[in-house]
Amino acid sequence: MKIRLLIGWISLMLLVACTDDTTIRSPTPYQFEPPILFGDGFEIPNDNPFTEEGIALGRNLFYEKMLSRNNQISCGTCHQQSKAFTDGAAFSTGLDGALTSKSSMSLVNLHWQSKFFWDGRALSLEAQALQPIQDHIEMDLPIEEAVSRLTESNTYRKQFAAAFETEEISGDLIAKALSQFMRTLVSSNSRYDQHLLGENVLTDQEKLGMDLFFTHPVANTGLRGGNCGDCHKTILTSGDRKDFLGFNNNGLDVDDNLEDGLMATTGKPEDKGKFKAPSLRNIELTAPYMHDGRFATLEEVLDHYNSNVQTSSTLDQQIVEATNLPEAVLPVKLGLTEEEKEAIIAFLHTLTDETFITNENFSDPFEN
């Protein structure tokens, strides 16, 4: 009889454990649906699963000025939604007015990227997330100080508890929340996407530009191409995810002036002057261009690839060997006509995604 009572009691406890009335509530899993054209070839880290609460916390942290030493700037200062999460400047301005050494990168479709920063020094988004906060020019806040500021806030303690089931805030959890939010920044509703899904939304000029964009020219057969897709690959228009293949020396400078680029990360001399091939999605909104913002317009970018490529020992071989002119030799002449350049630029404009830059889920929650 006693045993029966015991069993009954245990069963009751088990039932109670299954109801919602328990004090520790698990965060709500967020079901991420990849865009149909992108496929599901991405990984969400096992130790940082998507949750509704984690994403909401990450959004607050992204726009939280308390994460800079003087409470003046947030991640969102240099990554503005209206500019596809760039800041419109060649170099970003840090909290004391000093300039950073690189142009702010667009944050988009980060699931499908594997190395972060222009020099690829962060191997995960989580590893990337804390660096600008601590960078002396950018936000200049030691992570311990960030943790203690957030810990003083009742609201943040509650939000961390809701997202990670602990009120013990840490740098690791700040990085995880920021990464969860940044992973939601998916852009997949440009006219290019609509075209691929069968809608008749591109002009003939844009279609010509698309074909040129993705074609590696073969001069002796007359196959004309802009040679862009060799580095800015297919649907994502970003670099190859494998190893450091998505980094290229695209001929900005001669050997004497080459910056270290990827070499700073890998230590390999053959990587000198290589930088991350960024996604070109929303490129219309992310001027100026290149890692140092040296080109103000897309026309200047096309002119560079068409006739101003500088020769160096690590210049990408796909640029070295690509030309539309059978007789062309280095320095590289891609040999596009004005009409072809204009068509490629017209295609680049089809990569603009209005829903991405107006999606309220990505906006500054403190603004209203």
Instruction: Work out which of 245, 254, 264, 328 binds other proteins, going by CB under 8 A.
Output: 245
x/- letters, 252..291, toward other proteins (CB under 8 A): -----------------xx---------------------
Q: Are 272 and 232 in contact (CB under 8 A)?
A: no
Residue 135 binds other proteins, judged by CB under 8 A: no
Q: Give the interface segment with other proteins, choosing from 93-101, 154-162, 233-241, 278-286 (CB under 8 A).
A: 233-241
Q: Indicate the Cα dihedral angle 237, 238, 240, 245, nearest 10°.
A: 130
Cα-based distances in Å from 355 to 75, 286, 360: 21, 16, 9
Residue 65 binds other proteins, judged by CB under 8 A: no
Residue 39 binds other proteins, judged by CB under 8 A: yes
Nearest CA to 335 among 356, 355, 305, 310? 305
Identity of the residue, 152 or 243, whose beta carbon is nearer to other proteins in the bound complex:
243
Identity of the residue, 3 or 17, whose beta carbon is nearer to other proteins in the bound complex:
3
> Which residues touch 354 (CB under 8 Å, ≥6 apart)?
189
Residue 30 binds other proteins, judged by CB under 8 A: no
Residue 59 DSSP SS3: helix
CB of 33 to other proteins, least distance (A): 15
Residue 216 binds other proteins, judged by CB under 8 A: yes
Q: Give the interface segment with other proteins, choosing from 44-52, 130-138, 177-185, 230-238 (CB under 8 A).
A: 230-238
Q: Are 115 and 244 in contact (CB under 8 A)?
A: yes
CB of 359 to other proteins, least distance (A): 21
- What distance in Å separates the CA atoms of residue 248 and residue 225, rounded to the nearest whole number? 19
162-168 contacts at long range (C-beta below 8 A, 24 or more positions apart): 162/25, 162/27, 162/53, 162/57, 163/27, 163/51, 163/53, 163/54, 163/56, 163/57, 164/27, 164/54, 165/24, 165/26, 165/27
Identity of the residue, 61 or 319, whose beta carbon is nearer to other proteins in the bound complex:
319
CB of 249 to other proteins, least distance (A): 10
- What distance in Å separates the CA atoms of residue 284 and residue 102, rounded to the nearest whole number? 19
Give burial (CB, 10 Å; 0-12/13-18/19+) of 189.
Answer: middle
Residue 242 binds other proteins, judged by CB under 8 A: yes
Instruction: Work out which of 30, 38, 254, 311 binds other proteins, going by CB under 8 A.
Output: 38
* Binding residue count for other proteins, defined by CB under 8 A: 40
323 is written with which tokens?
Answer: 């030309």
Identity of the residue, 66 or 235, whose beta carbon is nearer to other proteins in the bound complex:
235
Residue 218 binds other proteins, judged by CB under 8 A: yes
Sign for the pseudo-dihedral over CA of 7, 13, 17, 18: positive
Residue 328 binds other proteins, judged by CB under 8 A: no
CB of 111 to other proteins, least distance (A): 9
Residue 196 binds other proteins, judged by CB under 8 A: yes
Interface contacts to other proteins, rule CB under 8 A: 3, 37-42, 112, 196-197, 210-211, 214-216, 218, 220-221, 223, 229-230, 233-236, 240-243, 245, 269-270, 313-314, 316-318, 320-322
